[in-house]
Chains A and B, each alone.
Chain A
Amino acid sequence: MCATCGCDDTEGVRIEGFDDHADGDEHDHDHEHTHDDHHHNGHYHGDGHHVHAAGQGHAHGHASDGAVETITLDQDVLAKNDRLAAQNRQWLADHGIRAVNLMSSPGAGKTTLLERTVRELAVAEPVAVIEGDQETPMDALRLRATGCRTVQVNTGAGCHLDADMLAKALRSLDPEDGSVVFIENVGNLVCPALFDLGEGRRVVLASTTEGEDKPLKYPHMFRAADLVLLTKADLLPYVPFEQGRFTEHLRRVNPDAELLPVSAVSGAGLGEWHDWLRAAVSAATTRRRQGGHGDRRTP
């Protein structure tokens, strides 16, 4: 692990923090080191386990004279991610923080919707954003321009956020107790569906320019949604998008998800979207630890 920023050496993940660190912490360092420095002859080092001291690598020959033993694991492949997600969820609940994971294909309008949503929500309550992209801090800069506390997670080769990345991003973001934290996942309708982050709610965006068949083409993503936002609804009169067909396709993969057409340009549906946010995530507030703000250590 990079000792300066905590970025993961195996995945090239970088987290660019909110630059208002009151305690003058270390997140304004530049990243001149190359992450290749962290790799060791292609060895994969998971979380510090199985680390060799210099010159003590073990031999990898198959020992033909050893005993063969079968070990039953019967364990979920994603068990570790799910454990970390559970820790995130507990920490968020303890601090009354309502986390909403936004997922969609690239260009569906996540950032544009967020720009408007955080402006309007921030009037009444603290809001912060975690921006996930493969590269560039562009989206975080757009959100910071609204005055919103934002950190950028660049996943490098990664195509999704995972629970470990969220934990690190929360450490950097250090959101206020009782705030709403939006997590804008990497634009991708496939991979983020599998990785629980510990969020309170999952919102999937599909735009009217994408076609009505998206729920059937990417069923895992739409199946994971609590709410589906049909974005760019202001374009409905101009594009050959049949909302009824989209709804029918969504129901085939997820009969329970709510569906809400919105437009960040005209403002249509935004009132309902904000009402949904207040109602759907208010349960987190009631679990808030009584008698104070709890343990401020982030996960």
Chain B
Amino acid sequence: MHELALAQAVVETITERTGDDQVVLVRLEIGKLSGVEVDAIRFCFDVVTAGTTVEGADLEIDEPSGQARCRSCGAACELSDLWGRCECGGIDLEVTSGDQLRIQEVRVTTDVRDVRV
């Protein structure tokens, strides 16, 4: 269940940046080839955000599909898993997309009452 550790890393990275601001939206990118279960991330996100400034935030997850370049013929091909095969029969594929595991952006509300002059 590495998704728990990943969800903790997400919250930690965000709160380091956003401080005391209330986070209302988190947008992640989790590629289809990343080896990470999106449902498990959602479950763990709810658990690890409890009691933090990220609690209650909406979680949007983009799931880019797998793309690869065949090292034999140079063609680009789509990959649904890590042991795909190029149309030329080549299996030596360089994954070019789909293994992302990134925090893209967050949306925060800054409480105007906290503003000091």
Contact = CB atoms under 8 A, between A and B. Distances in A.
Contacts of B91: 251-252, 255
B88 interface: no
Contact of A46 (B2, B16, B104, B113): B16
Interface of B: 1-2, 4-6, 8-22, 24, 28, 35-36, 48-53, 55-56, 81-83, 85, 91-92, 101-113
A132 B28 CA distance: 30
A63 B11 contact: no
A78 B9 CA distance: 7
A79 B12 contact: no
Given A44-B51, A67-B112, A219-B82, 4 more contacts: A60-B53, A66-B110, A77-B9, A253-B82
9 contacts: A44-B11, A47-B12, A58-B53, A68-B108, A70-B106, A71-B107, A75-B13, A252-B85, A252-B91
A187 to B, nearest CB: 14
A36 interface: no
Contact of B112 (A50, A65, A73, A76): A65
Contacts of B48: 44
A69 B112 contact: no
A125 B56 CA distance: 55
A50 B92 contact: no
A166 to B, nearest CB: 14
A76 B11 contact: no
A162 interface: yes
Contacts of B14: 73
Interface in A29-56: 41-44, 46-47, 49-50
Interface of A: 10, 41-44, 46-47, 49-50, 58, 60-81, 157-160, 162, 190-191, 193-195, 215-216, 219-220, 223, 249, 251-253, 255
A194 B2 contact: yes
Contact of B1 (A43, A62, A76, A159): A159
Nearest to A71: B106
A195 B36 CA distance: 12
Contact of A70 (B5, B35, B50, B105): B105
Main secondary structure of the interface of B (DSSP, over half): mixed
A73 B13 contact: yes
Contact of B15 (A42, A49, A72): A49
Nearest to B10: A77
A42 B109 contact: no
A220 B35 CA distance: 7
Contacts of B112: 63, 65-67
A41 B22 CA distance: 19
Nearest to A69: B108
B52 A252 contact: no
Given A72-B104, A194-B35, A216-B83, A63 B22 contact: yes
Given A77-B9, A253-B83, A71 B17 contact: yes
B2 A191 contact: yes
Contacts of B12: 44, 46-47, 49, 80
A47 B56 CA distance: 22
A69 B17 CA distance: 13
B44 to A, nearest CB: 11
A73 B17 contact: yes
A194 B36 CA distance: 9
Contact of B51 (A60, A71, A195, A220): A60
B10 to A, nearest CB: 6
A215 B17 CA distance: 39
